[in-house]
Chain A
Amino acid sequence: MATDHVVGIDLGTTNSLVAFMQGDTPVVIPGEDGLNLLPSVVALDAKNQPVIGNAGRNSLIETPERAVYSIKRLMGRGMEDIQEELKFFPFRLAEDLQPGEVLRIKLGDKTFTPPEISALILRQLKRSAERFFGGPVTKAVITVPAYFNDAQRQATKDAGRIAGLEVLRLVNEPTAASLAYGLDQKQNGIVAVYDLGGGTFDISILKLHDGIFEVIATNGDTHLGGDDIDNLLITIALDDIRGDLGVDLRRNPEAVQAIRKAVIEAKIALSSQRSVKLDIELPGGKHYRREITLEQFEQLILPVIDRTVGPCKQAMKDARLQPEQIDEVVLVGGSTRIPKVHALVKDLFRREPHIDLNPDEVVALGAAVQANILGGSEATQNMLLLDVTPLSLGIEVAGGVTDKIILRNSTIPASARQFYTTQVDGQANVAIHVLQGERELAKDCRSLARFDLKGIPPMAAGIPRVEVKFLIDANGILRVSAREQRSGKEAEIQVQPSYGLTDEQVEGMILDSFDNAEEDFRRRQVIEARNEAATILAALEKGKKSPAWGQLTTDEKKQIAKMEKALVAAKAEDHYQAIRKAIDALNQGTTRLAELMMDTAVSSALKGKNMDETDLGEGPTAPHPMAKAEFE
C-alpha cells in the first residue's frame, strides 16, 4: 500500500521529531509551524484541550500549573526513584498517588500518567506526518536512550499504543544516529557515539562491517543531560535574587519558568560567545541582571559533564578497546554543542569528534532509516542493526543475591533458561523475582517484575522441573515463558510489572476514542468514501446501458441491484466502515460486468476503481484537515 508509511520518531526529553525515508535519504517532517523540532512540552488550555510544543511552551510561563516538560525523566519510574527529580523539576504529582502505582501528573485539575503525556507528543508528530503524507500514519519506529531499562522501554511502547501507533521497533538513540551516519559512509571500523541530550546520556561503541552495525558495548545515565545544566543556572539565579533582592522565588512557578527560559537562552548563547548578559524581569517590575562568562559557565558545568567520563571508560573496557582503536567518534544530542563537551570528548577518545549531521536531528533520521530497513526497502537492503541489552538480567536467589542470567552487552534477541523446582510436597506455585542491573544484591538492582509460576502438577518436593525461558526481544523488552518438564505442561505465568501499566490500562487510555482530530479525520474519510460511492454508482449506470449488461444472468442483475440499493442507503449514513463495505461489495459483485465490458470505454471506470481501492483521493500536497487548532 502506497499510503503505508512507517515513520521514525525521536521522542526526546526536550524536543521530539518525526522523519521518514524519501527515496534513499531520511528527512525530517516539519510541524504545522514549519519547524522540525517539536518541544516536548504538554499543556492544557482553558478548555482542558491539550496544547503541545511551542504553544505549550508559552503556557509554561503563563500557567505553569497546567503544563509539563521533560516528562521523559519519569517514564517507567516509581515514586520512590524520582525524589531527586522532584527537587529540580516542577512535576506536580497527583495527591492520591499510592505507593507502587504508576505515577500520575497533574495538569490543571486533571491527571495523566507519563505514557499518556508522551502519547500526546507522539500524536502531535503523527498528525504532522499525516498532514505531510495526506493519509493516516499508524506505524512507527521510536527511539529510546540505549541505557533505558525494561520498564522505561515498556512505558515508551505503551505511549505509542496510546497515541494510536503500532510501534514496530524501539531503537536505541546512539545506534539510530550511527545508522544515519553510516548511510552514505560505507566503511568498516569501530565507531563511538557520544549522545548527550536534554535529559539522558548514552555512549555506544559499534563495529561497522559491510552494512552490519554491531553494537559491542553501551553504557550511560538516563538522568544526565542539558536539564541538569539548566538547573544549576536556575539555582544560582534564585540564590542571587534572594541575596540581592531579599525575595525567595522558589515557590513562584511563573518566575521560575521565566528564569529557566532566560538561562537556557544564555546557555545556548555561550556555545558561540565569550560571555552573556542575563536580564530577567521579575514579578513587581524589578530586573535581575547578571553577566556570565564562558569561564564561569565551564567551571560550573564541569561536575555535570564529568559524569559522562565513567560510562565512556566502562564501555571501552567492556568492548576491550583502547581509545586508539576507535576509528571515529560521533557527537549526538543538543548538549554536545557546548564547546566544553566537545573538548571533553576529544580528550577522552584522543581524536576530533564528528558533527557532520545536525545533532538535534540525527537520531530521528536514523529512526527513519531503521523504519526503512523493517519495510524491506532497497535503499537499506544491505543494512542490519545488531544491538545489545544495556543492563544485565538477573533472578533473585537465596540470600537476596542476584544471579545474572543474561549479561549486559549481550546481542539481542538473547535468551536464557533457568530450572526451578518446589520446596514442599504438592507445591503448585513458584515465585520468581526478575531484576535488572549490575549490583550483586537484589535490593540494589532494579526490580523488573515478579512472576508466579502457577499450576505445577502436585508432586513431591524437588521433583517438578520447571523450565523458565527468559527472552529479551529486539526492542530490549523481556518476555518470559515456562514449562514443567516432567508433565510437559505449560506453566501459567502471572506477570506483575514492578512499574508500568497493565494491558487493560493502556487499552483504556488510547486517545482515538475521545480525540477530536481523529473525528475530523473520520469525517473526511466518510466524505471521500461518499465521493467514491458516487463514482462507482455513476459507472454502474453507464454499465447498465452497455451491451455487456445483457450478458448477465437475471440472478446476477438481481444481486447487483440489491448491492446498489445497499450502497445508496449506506451513502446516506455517516459510517465510513458501512460505506466502505458496501463499495467493496458492489465492486466485487460487478467484477464480471467489468470483465465483460473490458473492450468498451466504460470498463475503465468500473475496473479502475476495482484495482485502486486504497486511493485516498488527494495527493501528498493536499492540506490535511486536522491539527490546525493547536498552533494559533
Chain B
Amino acid sequence: MTAKSSLTAIAAKPLPEDTHSCWSCGSMRAAHFCESCGKVQPPVPVDYFTFFGLSPKLNLDVVALEKDFYDLSRRLHPDLNARAGSREQEWSLEQSSLLNDAYRTLRDPIKRTEYLLHLEGVALEEQSKNATEQARVTGEIKKQIVPPDLLEEVFELNMELEELRMNQKMGEDDPALIAEIGKQKLALEAKHDALFEELQTHWKAWDSLIDPSRQPNEELAGERTQVIGNIVDVLNRRNYIRNLVRDVNAALEN
C-alpha cells in the first residue's frame, strides 16, 4: 500500500534539530506523530517541503500531496486529540496549523513557487503586494518597471483606458473602443497563460539542480542563482500582466 508507506515515511523521517524519539513511548525516529504509539509530537520548525517529507522541488504530485494531507490530518487534527493532555492538545493545534499552512502553500503552483523564492531569500511577493496596495489606496499609479517586451502594448492600452475613463465621465459610449480593449485583454490573458508554461520550464531546471548526486559547489550555486533569477523574472512579468488585466476589468465594469 503506497498510502501507508508514504505516511510512515513522513512519520519516520528524522527532522533537523531534535526529537528522534517519541516523548511518550520512547520509540526512535518520530516526527509529527509517533509511528509506534500514534501520539502527536512537539512541532519542530521546518519548511513546508520538509514537513511533508519532500525535497524542495517545484514539480510536485498534487494528488499524492492531497492524500498525505488527509492522512496526516487524521493524525494531527485537534478533534482527534481532544481527549489528550493539554500539552498534547497544544502540539496538535500547532502541528495541524502547520500542516494546513503547508498544504495550502504547496498545492498551489504559484504559491509554491513564491514560497521557494522565500526560502531562497527572495522577498518578491511582499514588496510587490505592499507597493500595489499602497498605490491603490493613495490613487497613485504604481511605479513599476514595465517588462520591455510589453512596453508598446502597455502604452497603447493605457491610452485606450484613459479614453474609456474620459468617455465614462462624459457619459459617452464608444463600442468600438470597448471592443478594442476587450481584444487586448484577451491577448494579455493569453500571455498570462503562456508565462505559466514558461515558468514550468524553469521548474524543471530548478528540480534538476536539487538532485542529491550534485555536489554542492560554486558552480551549482551559480546555476541555482541563475534559475531563481529566471523564475523571479517570469513571476514579475506575470504579476504585472495580472494587475493590468485587473485594471482593465475594473475600467470595463464601471
Binding site for B on A (CB under 8 A): 168-169, 209-210, 212, 370, 373-376, 384-386, 397-401, 403, 410-416, 440-441, 471-474
Contacts and interface: CB of A to CB of B under 8 A. Distances in A.
B137 A399 contact: yes
A374 B82 contact: yes
B101 interface: yes
Given A169-B79, A411-B103, A386 B136 contact: no
Contact of A471 (B93, B129, B136): B93
B97 A413 contact: yes
Contact of A386 (B77, B97, B101, B137): B77
7 contacts: A413-B78, A413-B100, A414-B97, A416-B101, A440-B133, A474-B77, A474-B79
Contacts of B79: 169, 370, 373-374, 384-385, 474
Nearest to A417: B101
B44 interface: no
B149 to A, nearest CB: 30
A370 B79 CA distance: 9
A368 B94 CA distance: 26
A212 B100 contact: no
Contacts, number: 77
A471 B97 contact: yes
A411 B104 contact: yes
Interface in B135-158: 136-138
A142 to B, nearest CB: 15
Ordered nearest first, which 10 A-B pairs have the shortest CB separation?
A413-B97, A374-B82, A411-B100, A415-B97, A474-B78, A401-B133, A413-B96, A401-B137, A399-B137, A414-B100
Contacts of B167: none
Contact of A376 (B83, B100, B137): B83
A53 to B, nearest CB: 30
A410 B98 CA distance: 12
B137 A415 contact: no
B27 interface: no
Contacts of A401: 133-134, 137
A212 B83 contact: no
A577 B59 CA distance: 64
Interface of B: 70, 73-74, 77-80, 82-83, 93-94, 96-98, 100-101, 103-104, 129-130, 133-134, 136-138
A283 to B, nearest CB: 53
A121 B102 CA distance: 41
Contacts of A376: 80, 82-83
Given A410-B104, A472-B97, 4 more contacts: A370-B79, A375-B83, A384-B79, A473-B78
Among A385, A399, A411, the one with the most B-chain Cβ atoms within 10 Å of its Cβ is A411
A473 B93 contact: yes
Given A374-B79, A384-B77, A413-B78, A403 B133 contact: yes
Given A169-B79, A413-B78, A474 B93 contact: yes
A413 B100 CA distance: 7
B100 A412 contact: yes
Contacts of A472: 97
Contacts of B97: 412-415, 471-472
Contacts of B82: 168-169, 374-376
A410 B103 CA distance: 10
B93 A440 contact: no
Nearest to A210: B70
A384 B133 contact: no
A410 B78 contact: no
Contacts of A370: 79
B173 to A, nearest CB: 27
Nearest to A6: B82
A212 B73 contact: yes
Nearest to A171: B79
B104 A384 contact: no
Contacts of A471: 93-94, 97
Nearest to B74: A384
Among A209, A212, A413, A416, the one with the most B-chain Cβ atoms within 10 Å of its Cβ is A413
A45 to B, nearest CB: 39
Nearest to B96: A413
A397 B97 CA distance: 25
Nearest to B93: A413
Nearest to B133: A401
Among A374, A440, A441, the one with the most B-chain Cβ atoms within 10 Å of its Cβ is A374
A374 B92 CA distance: 13
A441 B133 CA distance: 10
Contacts of B74: 212, 384
Contacts of B130: 397, 403
Contacts of B138: 399
B100 A399 contact: no
Contacts of B73: 212, 384, 386
Nearest to A411: B100
A415 B98 contact: yes
Nearest to B100: A411
B134 A399 contact: yes
B101 A414 contact: yes
A441 B138 CA distance: 11
Nearest to B98: A415
Contacts of A440: 133, 136-137
A376 B82 CA distance: 8
Among B78, B79, B100, the one with the most A-chain Cβ atoms within 10 Å of its Cβ is B79
A169 B74 CA distance: 17
A410 B93 CA distance: 15
A384 B82 CA distance: 12
Contacts of B134: 398-399, 401
Contacts of A385: 79
Contacts of A210: 70
B72 to A, nearest CB: 11
A411 B102 CA distance: 11
A473 B137 CA distance: 32
Nearest to A370: B79
